[in-house]
Amino acid sequence: MSYSLAAAISDLDEGQALQMVKTQLAAGADPQAILGACREGMSLVGKRYESGEYYVSELIMAGELFKQANALMQPYFSAGSGATKGTVVVGTVKGDIHDIGKDLVVGMLRANGYEVIDLGVDVPAEKFVEALKSSGAKVVGLSGLITISYDGMKSTVAALEAADLRSQVKVMVGGGSLTEQVREYVGADALGSDAQAAVMLAEQWS
Protein backbone atom coordinates (compact mmCIF):
# COMPACT_ATOMS: atom_id res chain seq x y z
CA MET A 1 0.00 0.00 0.00
CA SER A 2 1.60 3.23 -1.14
CA TYR A 3 -0.04 5.33 1.59
CA SER A 4 0.53 3.66 4.96
CA LEU A 5 -1.62 3.84 8.08
CA ALA A 6 1.27 5.48 9.93
CA ALA A 7 1.50 8.15 7.24
CA ALA A 8 -2.26 8.77 7.35
CA ILE A 9 -2.11 9.34 11.10
CA SER A 10 0.99 11.50 10.75
CA ASP A 11 -0.87 13.61 8.18
CA LEU A 12 -3.92 13.80 10.52
CA ASP A 13 -6.04 12.31 7.73
CA GLU A 14 -8.83 11.11 10.01
CA GLY A 15 -11.15 9.67 7.38
CA GLN A 16 -8.43 7.76 5.58
CA ALA A 17 -6.76 6.48 8.74
CA LEU A 18 -9.95 5.18 10.35
CA GLN A 19 -11.06 3.56 7.10
CA MET A 20 -7.69 1.81 6.82
CA VAL A 21 -8.03 0.50 10.37
CA LYS A 22 -11.54 -0.83 9.61
CA THR A 23 -10.43 -2.41 6.34
CA GLN A 24 -7.40 -4.11 7.87
CA LEU A 25 -9.41 -5.43 10.82
CA ALA A 26 -12.09 -6.79 8.49
CA ALA A 27 -9.38 -8.50 6.45
CA GLY A 28 -8.15 -10.33 9.54
CA ALA A 29 -4.95 -8.38 10.09
CA ASP A 30 -3.22 -8.70 13.47
CA PRO A 31 -4.63 -5.94 15.70
CA GLN A 32 -1.26 -5.65 17.44
CA ALA A 33 0.36 -4.88 14.08
CA ILE A 34 -2.30 -2.27 13.35
CA LEU A 35 -1.74 -0.75 16.80
CA GLY A 36 1.97 -0.69 16.06
CA ALA A 37 1.35 1.24 12.85
CA CYS A 38 -0.83 3.72 14.75
CA ARG A 39 1.89 4.21 17.34
CA GLU A 40 4.42 4.72 14.56
CA GLY A 41 2.15 7.43 13.16
CA MET A 42 1.95 9.08 16.58
CA SER A 43 5.73 8.97 16.82
CA LEU A 44 5.91 10.79 13.49
CA VAL A 45 3.44 13.36 14.81
CA GLY A 46 5.75 13.88 17.78
CA LYS A 47 8.71 14.45 15.48
CA ARG A 48 6.77 16.96 13.42
CA TYR A 49 5.86 18.76 16.63
CA GLU A 50 9.49 18.80 17.75
CA SER A 51 10.56 20.25 14.39
CA GLY A 52 8.01 23.06 14.68
CA GLU A 53 5.85 21.82 11.81
CA TYR A 54 3.02 20.90 14.18
CA TYR A 55 1.67 22.77 17.21
CA VAL A 56 -0.39 21.85 20.28
CA SER A 57 -3.62 21.89 18.24
CA GLU A 58 -2.20 19.18 15.96
CA LEU A 59 -1.15 17.12 18.98
CA ILE A 60 -4.72 17.31 20.28
CA MET A 61 -6.09 16.24 16.89
CA ALA A 62 -3.62 13.35 16.70
CA GLY A 63 -4.56 12.23 20.20
CA GLU A 64 -8.25 12.17 19.31
CA LEU A 65 -7.51 10.27 16.11
CA PHE A 66 -5.48 7.67 18.00
CA LYS A 67 -8.28 7.34 20.57
CA GLN A 68 -10.82 6.63 17.80
CA ALA A 69 -8.54 4.11 16.11
CA ASN A 70 -7.86 2.38 19.41
CA ALA A 71 -11.61 2.13 20.10
CA LEU A 72 -12.06 0.33 16.77
CA MET A 73 -9.33 -2.16 17.67
CA GLN A 74 -10.34 -2.94 21.25
CA PRO A 75 -12.96 -5.64 20.40
CA TYR A 76 -10.26 -7.54 18.49
CA PHE A 77 -7.84 -7.77 21.41
CA SER A 78 -8.04 -10.79 23.66
CA ALA A 79 -8.04 -10.13 27.38
CA GLY A 80 -4.60 -9.28 28.64
CA SER A 81 -3.04 -9.23 25.19
CA GLY A 82 -0.24 -6.88 24.33
CA ALA A 83 2.58 -5.99 26.65
CA THR A 84 2.99 -2.39 27.76
CA LYS A 85 6.21 -0.49 28.37
CA GLY A 86 5.16 0.21 31.94
CA THR A 87 2.63 2.07 34.04
CA VAL A 88 2.52 5.82 34.65
CA VAL A 89 0.26 7.57 37.15
CA VAL A 90 -0.84 11.04 35.99
CA GLY A 91 -3.02 13.74 37.51
CA THR A 92 -3.54 17.47 37.96
CA VAL A 93 -2.62 18.25 41.55
CA LYS A 94 -4.83 19.52 44.36
CA GLY A 95 -5.98 23.11 43.81
CA ASP A 96 -5.90 23.01 39.99
CA ILE A 97 -8.63 21.81 37.64
CA HIS A 98 -6.92 22.37 34.28
CA ASP A 99 -6.82 19.21 32.21
CA ILE A 100 -5.86 20.01 28.59
CA GLY A 101 -2.15 19.55 29.17
CA LYS A 102 -2.72 16.50 31.35
CA ASP A 103 -4.95 14.89 28.74
CA LEU A 104 -2.32 15.49 26.06
CA VAL A 105 0.30 13.74 28.19
CA VAL A 106 -2.05 10.84 28.91
CA GLY A 107 -2.88 10.44 25.21
CA MET A 108 0.74 10.56 24.06
CA LEU A 109 1.89 8.10 26.73
CA ARG A 110 -0.85 5.65 25.78
CA ALA A 111 -0.06 6.07 22.10
CA ASN A 112 3.55 5.18 22.88
CA GLY A 113 2.71 1.94 24.64
CA TYR A 114 2.30 2.92 28.29
CA GLU A 115 -0.55 1.98 30.58
CA VAL A 116 -1.72 5.23 32.17
CA ILE A 117 -3.70 5.64 35.37
CA ASP A 118 -5.38 9.02 34.92
CA LEU A 119 -6.47 10.35 38.31
CA GLY A 120 -8.17 13.42 36.85
CA VAL A 121 -7.95 16.92 38.29
CA ASP A 122 -7.74 18.50 41.78
CA VAL A 123 -6.09 15.30 43.00
CA PRO A 124 -5.02 15.18 46.66
CA ALA A 125 -1.56 13.86 47.50
CA GLU A 126 -2.87 10.71 49.18
CA LYS A 127 -4.65 9.66 46.00
CA PHE A 128 -1.34 9.68 44.11
CA VAL A 129 0.19 7.59 46.90
CA GLU A 130 -2.67 5.08 46.78
CA ALA A 131 -2.47 4.74 42.99
CA LEU A 132 1.30 4.20 43.05
CA LYS A 133 1.01 1.59 45.82
CA SER A 134 -1.80 -0.34 44.16
CA SER A 135 -0.34 -0.25 40.64
CA GLY A 136 3.35 -0.58 41.38
CA ALA A 137 4.01 2.23 38.88
CA LYS A 138 7.51 3.68 38.95
CA VAL A 139 6.70 6.97 37.21
CA VAL A 140 4.24 9.69 38.22
CA GLY A 141 3.35 12.84 36.31
CA LEU A 142 2.09 15.88 38.24
CA SER A 143 0.32 18.50 36.16
CA GLY A 144 -0.49 22.07 37.12
CA LEU A 145 -1.10 25.27 35.21
CA ILE A 146 -1.54 27.90 37.91
CA THR A 147 0.92 28.99 40.59
CA ILE A 148 -1.21 27.57 43.41
CA SER A 149 -0.43 24.12 41.99
CA TYR A 150 3.22 24.42 43.05
CA ASP A 151 2.33 23.73 46.67
CA GLY A 152 0.11 20.86 45.57
CA MET A 153 3.07 19.33 43.74
CA LYS A 154 5.38 19.91 46.70
CA SER A 155 2.95 18.28 49.14
CA THR A 156 2.52 15.31 46.80
CA VAL A 157 6.27 14.72 46.64
CA ALA A 158 6.39 15.07 50.45
CA ALA A 159 3.61 12.46 50.71
CA LEU A 160 5.68 10.08 48.58
CA GLU A 161 8.57 10.61 50.99
CA ALA A 162 6.34 9.93 54.00
CA ALA A 163 5.05 6.72 52.37
CA ASP A 164 8.62 5.52 51.66
CA LEU A 165 7.92 5.63 47.92
CA ARG A 166 10.12 8.52 46.85
CA SER A 167 13.26 6.47 46.24
CA GLN A 168 11.28 4.02 44.09
CA VAL A 169 9.36 6.51 41.94
CA LYS A 170 10.46 9.05 39.35
CA VAL A 171 8.46 12.29 39.43
CA MET A 172 7.91 14.49 36.40
CA VAL A 173 6.07 17.80 36.55
CA GLY A 174 4.57 19.86 33.76
CA GLY A 175 2.44 22.92 33.12
CA GLY A 176 2.54 26.22 31.33
CA SER A 177 4.09 28.30 34.10
CA LEU A 178 6.57 25.77 35.43
CA THR A 179 10.32 26.41 35.38
CA GLU A 180 13.40 24.56 36.55
CA GLN A 181 13.27 26.65 39.71
CA VAL A 182 9.75 25.39 40.39
CA ARG A 183 10.84 21.81 39.69
CA GLU A 184 13.59 22.20 42.26
CA TYR A 185 11.19 23.79 44.76
CA VAL A 186 8.67 20.92 44.55
CA GLY A 187 11.37 18.22 44.58
CA ALA A 188 10.58 16.58 41.24
CA ASP A 189 13.13 14.65 39.15
CA ALA A 190 12.41 16.40 35.86
CA LEU A 191 10.34 19.07 34.15
CA GLY A 192 8.49 18.01 31.02
CA SER A 193 7.94 21.03 28.81
CA ASP A 194 5.26 19.28 26.72
CA ALA A 195 3.58 15.93 26.07
CA GLN A 196 6.39 14.71 23.84
CA ALA A 197 8.93 15.49 26.58
CA ALA A 198 6.84 13.46 29.03
CA VAL A 199 7.10 10.46 26.70
CA MET A 200 10.86 10.90 26.40
CA LEU A 201 11.21 11.02 30.19
CA ALA A 202 9.11 7.87 30.59
CA GLU A 203 11.32 6.17 28.00
CA GLN A 204 14.45 7.14 29.95
CA TRP A 205 13.01 5.88 33.23
CA SER A 206 11.41 2.64 32.01
pLDDT in tens, 93-133: 999 999 888 988 998 898 888 999 999 999 999 999 999 99
Q: What CATH number did the domain enclosing 20 receive?
A: 1.10.1240.10
- HEC string for the chain: CCCCHHHHHHCCCHHHHHHHHHHHHHCCCCHHHHHHHHHHHHHHHHHHHHCCCCCHHHHHHHHHHHHHHHHHHHHHCCCCCCCCCCEEEEEEECCCCCCHHHHHHHHHHHHCCCEEEECCCCECHHHHHHHHHHHCCCEEEEECCCCCHHHHHHHHHHHHHHCCCHHHCEEEEECCCCCHHHHHHHCCCEECCCHHHHHHHHHHHC
| Predicted confidence (pLDDT) per residue in 137-179, tens digit | 999 999 998 899 999 999 999 999 999 999 999 999 998 779 9
14 and 100 housed in the same domain: no
61 and 128 housed in the same domain: no
Could you confirm whether 194 is annotated as catalytic? no
User: Is 34 within the bounds of a domain?
Assistant: yes
User: Is 192 within the bounds of a domain?
Assistant: yes
119 and 189 housed in the same domain: yes
97 and 191 housed in the same domain: yes
97 and 22 housed in the same domain: no
Given a cut of 60, whether residue 79 has pLDDT beyond it is: no
Considering the candidates 10, 143, 149, 155, report the single residue annotated as catalytic: 149
Q: Which residue did the predictor score with more confidence, 77 or 139? A: 139
Could you confirm whether 164 is annotated as catalytic? no
Q: Which of residues 56, 76, 96 is at a domain's end?
A: 76
User: Is 82 within the bounds of a domain?
Assistant: no
Mean pLDDT of 172-201: 92
Q: Which of residues 18, 46, 76 is at a domain's end?
A: 76
The pLDDT value recorded for residue 1 is: 43
| Predicted confidence (pLDDT) per residue in 22-61, tens digit | 999 999 998 888 988 998 999 899 889 889 999 989 988 9
192 and 160 housed in the same domain: yes
Q: What's the structural domain count of the chain?
A: 2
User: Is 81 within the bounds of a domain?
Assistant: no
Residue 145 belongs to what domain range? 87-205
pLDDT band, residue 2 (cuts 50/70/90): low
Could you confirm whether 98 is annotated as catalytic? yes
Considering the candidates 11, 13, 98, 189, report the single residue annotated as catalytic: 98
Mean pLDDT of 60-77: 87
pLDDT band, residue 78 (cuts 50/70/90): low
Considering the candidates 96, 103, 118, 194, report the single residue annotated as catalytic: 96
